Amino acid sequence: MGTPHVFIAWADLKKLACDAWLVPGARGPGATWRDALPAGWHVPALLSGFGIDDAHRAAVMVDTVDEPLPVLANITGSRSEGPAWYVEGAAEFLRVATIALRKAGRAPLNGRSRYLLALPLVGTKGGGAGAWSGEITSLLVPMLRAEAQRLEVDGEVGIDVALVLIEGPAWAAAQRRRHDDAHAFDALPAPLQQAADDLAVRARSGGLTLFLGAGIAKPAGLPDWQRLLHLLAQERVSKAELQAFGELTELDRAALIERRLAKGETMGDATARIIIDKSRRVALGHALLASLPVNEVVTTNYDDLFERASAVVGRPCARIPGSAVSPGERFILKMHGCVTRPSSIVLTREDYMRFQDNRSALSGIVQALLLTRHMLFVGFSFTDDNFHRIAHAVRTAIRGDATGPRAPFGTNLVVGGGTLVADLWREDLHWLALSAHEDKVRDQARLAEIFLDRLSARAATITSHLGDDRWAGALSDGERQLRGRLEALQQQVTPAERASTAWGEVEVLLARLGMKKPG
């Protein structure tokens, strides 16, 4: 038996890659949820009585293949039910989903080591319990971990849970509640907890930037470079040629495929079609990273999944190249192009040579970030020649005439082996080798997700729910007292004080705390 983990993600549940998800409803899903359901869904008969039998408040809507399993749960109540009733419906979802996945013998989606069951903050939107949002949060967060642990069975696939919040105050309230649980991150070894906390300090001070490689997108179902080339080779390389094709370098494989494209088709178009088809949902890692207080992101990936995740948390990304960046705006630098502009995609040797000749401005941005920030690498293999050229220039600039040791310019969160690669980069990077804690690659990938969850939690400013009446039930005694004092301050401030320059700064702080202006 292992240790299940409860993730807290600021994301859109309908667009998150997972194994099963809770669809709120009673007689059926609301309009908000219908468009996200797979074809063939139906309202389970046992729920048609509007939850008359509370022992059966959740049921699978349709069996799916390579899609999250939708489970309809009756969490639509009235003021006659209390907060615990809604939380019990969430527990029923966990039980029903786990049993259904195990009974079907389904492997976790996209190579994950455990099932990921995702649910919203039950009952707090259309379920009639909006006024109890704080109370439900306080009960739900500990219940999810306890129930996940109870569902652990020797010889069966374990589960993790993702509590998915669509708005900032809900996310802040859930993070605040989990912060009180000393065992919330028991699944993450202590050295990794400390490393995540250290990076969180950098993030809160504005000193962290991100570099995303292909590994971050695998849990969303996207192919790595090898798999992408295999998909592109289908119908373009014969079975008799496959062995010889496999002996070519990746760049030569790409060049051969490009020569065999249909008339009028480009490599960028062919690549974009595959990526778009397989990028229907964001991975958990995208959501966790998008919630970080980070303005600059660099990626070699072609997909737009991080941009989608970032938009949900209210941080739309300017995309470079292609967009101007305003001061304080988040941007993502797409080193190898993007599916939104297929002509920009870098895949063949000629593409890489053009990158070196024509994208010096992009290289300069990456160099500047390496020199002025601490860069967290996630899912990057360090085999990209363009990055090696950039890093060499940075090493030269940092070293200057000095001969002694220098501070690393980044941290690499690495899944898999790479011990020799680590030796090559030991002077430049803190190397967080997850293989030191787990043997199997899929278990290391899960540890990486939990690491990012810890980083997200510790970097968060979990105060935006303080002044929102819906979350009053989630506040500690001290927080309630502070809220009262701030409300009194808002009421008592004089017109002269309000007209001062300093009051503008106070208003900014009050807005961050979710305090409403007096009517």
Please tell me the predicted confidence (pLDDT) of residue 50. 43
For residues 213 and 412, is the Cβ–Cβ distance under 8 A?
A: no
Q: What CATH number is given for 6-187 in this structure?
A: 3.40.220.10
| pLDDT reading at 361 higher than 80 | no
Which tokens in the block code for residue 67? 């899609």
445 CB contacts (<8 Å, ≥6 apart)? 111, 112, 113, 215, 218, 219, 415
- Residues 266-274: what's their mean pLDDT? 90
Please tell me the predicted confidence (pLDDT) of residue 44. 85
For residues 500 and 202, is the Cβ–Cβ distance under 8 A?
A: no
According to DSSP H, which parts of 128-167 are helical?
Answer: 133-150
In single-letter form, the type of residue at position 69 comes to: L
Which tokens in the block code for residue 204? 């809160």
d(CA 334, CA 362) in angstroms, rounded, equals: 9
Which pTM does this prediction carry? 0.91
d(CA 29, CA 36) in angstroms, rounded, equals: 10
201 CB contacts (<8 Å, ≥6 apart)? none
The residue with greater pLDDT, 484 or 211, is 211
| pLDDT reading at 101 higher than 90 | yes
d(CA 302, CA 341) in angstroms, rounded, equals: 9
Angle between helical axes of 267-278 and 250-259 (0-180°, round to 10): 110
| pLDDT reading at 53 higher than 60 | no
Give the domain ranges of the chain. Answer: 6-187, 201-222+279-459, 225-278, 476-512
| pLDDT reading at 212 higher than 70 | yes
Residue 452's alpha-carbon distances to 17, 67, 243, 289, in angstroms, are: 16, 24, 39, 7
For residues 168 and 467, is the Cβ–Cβ distance under 8 A?
A: no
Percent of the chain with pLDDT strictly greater than 70: 92
Fold match, 6-187 / 201-222+279-459? no
According to DSSP H, which parts of 151-238 are helical?
Answer: 168-179, 190-204, 225-233
- Count CB-CB contacts under 10 A for residue 510: 19
Please tell me the predicted confidence (pLDDT) of residue 463. 77
Mean pLDDT of the chain: 87
Tally the residues of the chain: 519
Closest of 194, 213, 278, 230 to residue 415, by C-alpha: 213
Please tell me the predicted confidence (pLDDT) of residue 95. 95
Please, what is the Cα angle at 192 between 172 and 152, to 5 degrees? 75
For residues 160 and 117, is the Cβ–Cβ distance under 8 A?
A: yes
| pLDDT reading at 402 higher than 60 | no
Please tell me the predicted confidence (pLDDT) of residue 392. 73
For residues 375 and 409, is the Cβ–Cβ distance under 8 A?
A: yes
d(CA 20, CA 75) in angstroms, rounded, equals: 17
pLDDT confidence bin for 365, thresholds 50/70/90: confident
Q: What is the CA radius of gyration of the chain?
A: 25
Interval 292-344: pLDDT, tens: 999 999 998 999 999 999 999 999 999 988 888 888 899 999 988 899 999 88
For the domain with range 201-222+279-459, which CATH number is right: 3.40.50.1220, 3.40.50.2000, 3.40.30.10, 1.10.1040.10? 3.40.50.1220
